[in-house]
Amino acid sequence: MTATVPPKAPVFLGLPTAPRGVGHLRGTESFPDAARHELRNGQLRANLGHATATIRGKRAGVVAEVPDWEQLRAAGKAIKAATMARLDEHLVSLERQVTARGGTVHWARDANEANAIVTALVQATGTTEVVKVKSMATQEIGLNEALEAVGLDVFETDLAELIVQLGEDSPSHILVPAIHKNRAEIKEIFARTIPGVDPELTDDPRQLAMAARTHLRERFLRARVAVSGANFAVAETGTLSVVESEGNGRMCLTLPQTLITVMGIEKVVPTWTDLEVFLQLLPRSSTGERMNPYTSTWAGVTPGDGPQEFHLVLLDNGRTAVLADEVGREALHCIRCSACLNVCPVYERTGGHAYGSVYPGPIGAILSPQLTGVEDNASLPYASSLCGACYEVCPVAIDIPSILVHLRAEHVEAQQKPTAEALAFRSLARAMSHPWLWHLVQRGARLGRLIARGKPTLPSVFPPPISGWTRSRDLPTPPTRTFVQQWTEEHGK
Amino acid sequence: MSAREEVLARIRTALGEDRAPAPAVVRDYRRAGDSPADAALLALLVDRVEDYRADVLRCGPDEVGATVRAALDRGLGEGWTPGTVVVAPGLDDDWRPDGCDVDDDRPAVQLADRAAAVTAVAVAIAETGTLVLDGSPTCGRRALSLLPDCLVCVVTVDQVVAGVPEGLARLDPVRPLTMISGPSATSDIELQRVEGVHGPRQLFVVLAG
């Protein structure tokens, strides 16, 4: 292909993707290579199998008791599509409302800019400690690393995030970042890293949760700055919301003097009424509860109640590039419930780390490559069997399988040189469109019976590049007679 | 160009010159409308709240004060000290146990050493077992229902609605709202639910009327 031929891949209109060298959207190795390491970890597979089976059961139970679930899903999908179609207008409205109620709105083109804004805001308060509510957006941009780089102490307060932070680990699930750890491993991390922890600590989940409560209590009470994400932001009223379980979110949203919220631009919803849909869809899809224990909402600043200084950082970081793709933009509808991870047969076996991004599982496989540009996460659109379970459980009905196929096509069409796979299929297409050649190939394939030695599948003895295909797929042993031969024998030509 | 102008320009580029009309949102899910709660709805609320392992105490409209005291007996053990209990500033005088402290504008963190708080609610949603506090004087500021380890919320029957849509319709979106569904909890360890993390570990609901 020469440089003068226009690319066939969907045009991104030059909109910038998330920058390299910051944040956590790219892994160090491809999905198949990472998956190979992870699959060897028997403990990980046992932990994930147990956890995902538990949450699948709970979700199915509470979804089944809602008679209008499908209507809610359809409404959720429509609200998100309508929001994206007027995203600029809703963001401007949100900005106006938040500002009118005493908040300050900042815009960030990418991760670096968002990190710089938050760092400067924290430094301006003169504090050295920041408490954090679990937030995917701040994980995505690597905010903790940016704050630590200037000497600030950052404390994750969600239990699972705390486990990940204390274990110097990385999150592997959207909802339960430490899902890959079992109770015994968590007990070990706490015993090793929490100063003054009860030496009698056992691996009972209740005791572990109490240890986290004691560890964080003082921090909450003395914290002067908190950083949060947002699940939803209402454009017409300026209402932000955080959906959580433990109360760590409420501590951060209530006690410090200053609150900084970092929110992806796609989290805006047009009206207060729209929340009646998402507050039904999210908890049941996420933790499998009818409602999560705590949902907090706030609009700007309320005198005498909660933080008296509020900053909202609106983050692009590749989202507008996703928006430019008419098929792929549906990935921006995601409300981060993680139901698609829990039902995915690939995620259940490999775990979240294999995806190399803070967004793992099926949604990650369509979101990460779009945020970074598909060339930086080229293996992720293939990290799926396309079984469709993710689409079925998605509370806003994102057609994940179709977007996966769309991104695969985009990746293939962007190749400058033909791949071995493309060459093989081109040859196959040629053979299949010429009967004499096809019969010759079939006759030749019968030689495969020699190496099959009577087994139903061929052994994987092929050299590269064929081994790239056969390593993870069985090739059936060729039959003694083909269908055409049988037909000719029974019916004549 | 400022970041604001640039992000907005990117969105306009992404959506194109002649953008499609925003699709209509069909709201054919259940929106029962606001109607007085009947016995079945109250029973549903009780069932759902108890499912979160919170305790519900029902009483007549004139028995709220005594029932709040009974809830505190359960939560703190009989013989609790009134001074360790703090109530929302606008709480009905008849509901406030004698000797209890009324929340004022002291620093919020000082509420952390109180054993229990008593508040009213703005709305209760039966189907999800959710209480909503709206920062009004009867509900108190957000820290009040957060820091003391035992929370007693008084719900009157006229505050009970069927579902989430009816609940949100009654609320003012610019007030600081806290929706509470059971005691604080976590599912972060092997996805097993454990009640009681950073928020109150005990929740009592007094349902009056």
Domain segments of chain A: what residues? 420-491
Q: Given an 8 Å threshold on Cβ–Cβ distance, is A176 in contact with B188?
A: yes
The model's confidence at residue A1, banded by pLDDT at 50, 70 and 90, is very low
Q: Which of A54, A55, A250, A277 to mutate to test the interface with B (most CBs of B within 10 A)?
A: A250
Of B105, B141, B182, the CB nearest to A293: B182
**Mean pLDDT of the A361-373 span:** 98
Cβ neighbourhood burial of A36 (10 Å; 0-12, 13-18, 19+): middle
As a whole-number percent, the residues of chain A with pLDDT over 90 amount to: 83
Looking at chain B from residue 144 to 183, which residues have their Cβ under 8 Å from any Cβ of chain A? 146, 163-165, 168-169, 173-183
Q: Which of B17, B144, B189, B192 to mutate to test the interface with A (most CBs of A within 10 A)?
A: B189
The model's confidence at residue A13, banded by pLDDT at 50, 70 and 90, is low
Structural domains of chain B in order of their starting residue, each with its CATH number: 32-208 (3.40.50.10420)
Query: Alpha-carbon distance A85 to B96, whole Å?
Result: 52
For residue A336, the distance in angstroms to the closest alpha carbon of chain B comes to 16
Q: What is residue A85's predicted lDDT score, i.e. its pLDDT?
A: 97
Cβ neighbourhood burial of B192 (10 Å; 0-12, 13-18, 19+): middle
Looking at chain B from residue 82 to 111, which residues have their Cβ under 8 Å from any Cβ of chain A? 105, 108-109
Q: Given an 8 Å threshold on Cβ–Cβ distance, is A305 in contact with B130?
A: no
The closest of B141, B116, B137, B112 to B206, measured between CA atoms, is: B116
Q: What is residue A310's predicted lDDT score, i.e. its pLDDT?
A: 98
Query: Alpha-carbon distance A246 to A260, whole Å?
Result: 20
Report whether A109 contacts A15 (CB < 8 A).
no
Query: Alpha-carbon distance A18 to A110, whole Å?
Result: 6
Both structure tokens of A178: 């430490």
For residue B144, the distance in angstroms to the closest alpha carbon of chain A comes to 10
For residue A26, the distance in angstroms to the closest alpha carbon of chain B comes to 23
Of B14, B23, B173, the CB nearest to A78: B23
Q: Given an 8 Å threshold on Cβ–Cβ distance, is A13 in contact with B192?
A: no
Of B22, B105, B190, the CB nearest to A85: B22
Looking at chain B from residue 109 to 148, which residues have their Cβ under 8 Å from any Cβ of chain A? 109, 112, 125, 127-130, 135, 141-143, 146
Q: What is residue A6's predicted lDDT score, i.e. its pLDDT?
A: 43
User: Which residue has better confidence, A301 or A484?
Assistant: A301
The closest of B22, B19, B57, B16 to B152, measured between CA atoms, is: B57
**Mean pLDDT of the A260-275 span:** 98
Per-residue CA distances from B108 to A30, A86, B178 (Å) = 49, 40, 16
Q: What is residue A4's predicted lDDT score, i.e. its pLDDT?
A: 45
User: Which residue has better confidence, A20 or A451?
Assistant: A20
Report whether B178 contacts A294 (CB < 8 A).
yes
Residue B192 clears pLDDT 70, i.e. is over it? yes
Q: What is residue A7's predicted lDDT score, i.e. its pLDDT?
A: 43
pLDDT, chain A, mean:
93
**Mean pLDDT of the A452-480 span:** 83
The model's confidence at residue A358, banded by pLDDT at 50, 70 and 90, is very high
Which helix (H) or strand (E) element contains residue A90? helix A87-100
Q: Given an 8 Å threshold on Cβ–Cβ distance, is A304 in contact with B141?
A: yes
- Closest-CA residue of A relative to B30 is A68
For residue A381, the distance in angstroms to the closest alpha carbon of chain B comes to 22
A72-86, A87-101, A201-215, A449-463: which range is least confident on average? A449-463
Residue A420 clears pLDDT 70, i.e. is over it? yes
- Closest-CA residue of B relative to A58 is B191
Report whether B71 contacts B152 (CB < 8 A).
yes
DSSP for A306-325, please give it: S-SEEEEEEE-TTHHHHHTS
Of B14, B163, B181, the CB nearest to A324: B14
DSSP at A124 = H
Residue A36 clears pLDDT 70, i.e. is over it? yes
Q: What is residue A446's predicted lDDT score, i.e. its pLDDT?
A: 87
**Mean pLDDT of the A55-83 span:** 97
Identify the three-state secondary structure at position A476. strand
**Mean pLDDT of the A67-83 span:** 98
Beta bridge partners of A233: A240, A268
HEC states along A32-70?
A: HHHHHHHHCCHHHHHHHHHHHHHHHHHHHHHHHCCCCHH
Residue A40 clears pLDDT 50, i.e. is over it? yes
The closest of A240, A245, A235 to A212, measured between CA atoms, is: A245
- Closest-CA residue of A relative to B170 is A273
Q: What is residue A21's predicted lDDT score, i.e. its pLDDT?
A: 95
Which chain B residues touch A179 with a CB distance below 8 Å?
191
Residue A10 clears pLDDT 70, i.e. is over it? no
Looking at chain B from residue 27 to 86, which residues have their Cβ under 8 Å from any Cβ of chain A? 27-31, 48, 51-52
- Closest-CA residue of A relative to B7 is A109
Q: What is residue A174's predicted lDDT score, i.e. its pLDDT?
A: 93
List all residues 6 or more positions away from A4 whose beta carbon is below 8 Å from its beta carbon. none
Of B15, B178, B198, the CB nearest to A251: B198
As a whole-number percent, the residues of chain A with pLDDT over 70 amount to: 97
For residue B170, the distance in angstroms to the closest alpha carbon of chain A comes to 11
Is the torsion defined by CA of A248, A251, A254, A257 positive or negative?
negative
For residue B159, the distance in angstroms to the closest alpha carbon of chain A comes to 18
Of B141, B179, B189, the CB nearest to A305: B141
Is the torsion defined by CA of A429, A434, A440, A446 positive or negative?
positive
> Each residue of B22-76: pLDDT tens digit?
889 999 999 977 788 899 999 999 999 999 999 999 999 999 999 999 999 999 9
Q: What is residue A2's predicted lDDT score, i.e. its pLDDT?
A: 41
E strands, A289-375, where?
Answer: 294-299, 309-315
User: Which residue has better confidence, A14 or A226?
Assistant: A226
Which chain A residues touch B134 with a CB distance below 8 Å?
none
Q: Given an 8 Å threshold on Cβ–Cβ distance, is A238 in contact with B8?
A: no
Q: Given an 8 Å threshold on Cβ–Cβ distance, is B190 in contact with A239?
A: no
Q: Given an 8 Å threshold on Cβ–Cβ distance, is B182 in contact with A237?
A: no
Of A216, A251, A291, the CB nearest to B128: A291
The model's confidence at residue A493, banded by pLDDT at 50, 70 and 90, is confident
**Mean pLDDT of the A213-233 span:** 96
pLDDT, chain B, mean:
95
> Each residue of B128-160: pLDDT tens digit?
999 999 999 999 999 999 999 999 999 999 999
Q: What is residue A445's predicted lDDT score, i.e. its pLDDT?
A: 86
Report whether B156 contacts B200 (CB < 8 A).
no
The model's confidence at residue A260, banded by pLDDT at 50, 70 and 90, is very high
